Structure 1
Amino acid sequence: MPDNVLEVTGLHRTYGTVRAVEDVSFTLREGGSLGIVGESGSGKTTTARIIVGLERADVGEVLVHGRDRTGRSRGRAQRLARARAVQMVFQDPYLSLDPRTSVEAVLRETLRLHFPGTDHPRRVRELLDQVGLGTRAADALPRQLSGGQRQRVAIARALAVEPSVLVLDEAVAALDVSVQAQILNLLADIREQTAIGYLFITHDLGVVRCVTDDVIVMRAGRIVEAGPTAAVLAAPEHPYTRLLLESVPRPGWDPDRIAAARRALR
């Protein structure tokens, strides 16, 4: 049985009177894939940002391989070590890439920062091959790449530091459906090749069904349901989870009925 790579216990985060995250706890096993599902304002992205270290929890604990990430980093070496442990891929890769910097330069800069003594040209080639781009893309600028190619570069940059956990925050939401499938297949292949754990932050139940082993459903900052993905989506127990499933358009879909159900949950 694989060990837990990520353990989150009792996270709380408030902004004034708003409880963005309230008593959130879960685990992610090594090589596992966990989805965090919820609508805008559910607290899923705030939870992800706390895990990555972009925000601090008011209360709670985040452990990666048993090491605490909730305290302040002491010195440059510890900051870099924390950054290597958990990486994040955002929704819009164009905004997270310097438009003036080539793909190769992006990857070399990351490698120089974290692994100054390695063979950077060889590792750049390995990363480009790993994400299905190849060396032909090395000299390209972000504006010369498609959305799917840019997201592959963002994934390569995250993988460059050999993280234990990869947080994907709506990472395929801005892509066409066919390109989404390509990126999700790529991520599935990478997970088979490595022991990396995935944390998918998404509102898309199709993505969750396709690429996660387990899922937690968040509403108003709290977890309302959790379990194996197949079981939760096949027989949801919480009314909010059922509402999310019923909100997916399909033949016979009635938006007025969904709106009425949503009002009843308030």
Structure 2
Amino acid sequence: MPVDALQVKGLHRSYGSVRAVDDVSFTLPEGGSLGIVGESGSGKTTTARIVVGLERADEGEVLVGGLPRTGRTRGRAARLARARQVQMVFQDPYLSLDPRTGVEAALRETLRLHFPDRDHTKRVRELLDQVGLGTRAADALPRQLSGGQRQRVAIARALAVEPAVLVLDEAVAALDVSVQAQILNLLADIREQTGIGYLFITHDLGVVRCVTDEIVVMRHGRIVEAGPTAEVLAAPRHAYTRLLLESVPRPGWDPEAIAAHRRAL
């Protein structure tokens, strides 16, 4: 019987009187791609940070491959094993890359930490090829790379530890549209090759439409709608989902009417 790559059950997270995440549950099948969408303050990024382990839930459970990861982990080996399960790619890779460390050195550092007994030279070449960089970028520093190239490095570093789930938090939001398309196509190819599961955190319904199988719509920390991406975007049942679709710029787009609709919800 197949085991889901990721299960999130009844997550709650509050900051004082603010409920950032309120009873959030969803499932990501092995090799699947799920998008969590919503405006700023919807709770989608807090949910992602709990899944990765950067924040702790007040209540609820996160399971990867059927095994819980919300409890405390003791010992270096156990912490590294847990880190390998889920990796995260952020919106701005420059902030997560050491400006003094070249591409190959960054990948080698990650590989030495997690797989000290493997052939790192071969694996670095494989990772560079996998993200479409090649060996020409191996010695480059982050400042010598374009935004799209830096994001490819961040993806390669995340893939180096062979995670079951890759969380992408607005990972293409800062890129030009043409570069966004290149990165999304790259991610689609990697998913097909490896069977990795993707959790996309985004406000961009165009990204969700292109690369996810399932969608979760969040507002004020709660899930208001969920289901197959194509079905939800074609015939949304919740007024907030319809508002998000109306907010996508297009001919005849009326931002004032949309703002009035938002205030009425």
Say whether residues 1:148 and 2:158 are aligned partners.
no
Tell me, yes or no, if the aligned pair for 2:225 and 2:237 is still in contact at 8 Å.
yes
Aligned to 1:255: 255
Say whether residues 1:238 and 2:238 are aligned partners.
yes
Aligned to 2:16: 16
Aligned to 2:95: 95
Distance 1:2 1:143 in 2: 43
1:195-254 CA deviation, whole Å, 9 max, x = no partner? 100000000000000000000000000000000000000000000000000001100011
* TM-aligned CA deviation for residue 3 of structure 1: 3.1
1:17-40 CA deviation, whole Å, 9 max, x = no partner? 000000000000000000000000
Distance 1:255 1:164 in 2: 40
The amino acid of 1:73's aligned partner reads: T
Structure 2 residue ranges without an equivalent (≥5) = none
Aligned to 1:50: 50
Distance 2:82 2:215 in 1: 25
Tell me, yes or no, if the aligned pair for 2:3 and 2:66 is still in contact at 8 Å.
no
Distance 2:95 2:250 in 1: 33
Say whether residues 1:68 and 2:68 are aligned partners.
yes
Tell me, yes or no, if the aligned pair for 2:5 and 2:29 is still in contact at 8 Å.
yes
The amino acid of 1:17's aligned partner reads: S
1:88-124 CA deviation, whole Å, 9 max, x = no partner? 0000011110000000010000000000000001100
Q: How does 1:1-266 map to 2 (within 5 A)?
A: 2-265=2-265
* TM-aligned CA deviation for residue 183 of structure 1: 0.1
The amino acid of 1:95's aligned partner reads: L
CA RMSD, 1 decimal:
0.7
* TM-aligned CA deviation for residue 85 of structure 1: 0.3
Q: Secondary structure at the match of 1:257?
A: helix
* TM-aligned CA deviation for residue 256 of structure 1: 1.2
Distance 2:140 2:48 in 1: 30
Q: Secondary structure at the match of 1:19?
A: strand
Q: Secondary structure at the match of 1:109?
A: helix
Q: What TM-score do the two structures reach when normalised by structure 2?
A: 0.99
The amino acid of 1:247's aligned partner reads: S
* TM-aligned CA deviation for residue 2 of structure 1: 4.8
Q: Secondary structure at the match of 2:243?
A: helix
Distance 2:129 2:219 in 1: 39
Equivalenced residue count is: 265
Distance 1:78 1:57 in 2: 20
The amino acid of 2:205's aligned partner reads: L
The amino acid of 1:23's aligned partner reads: D
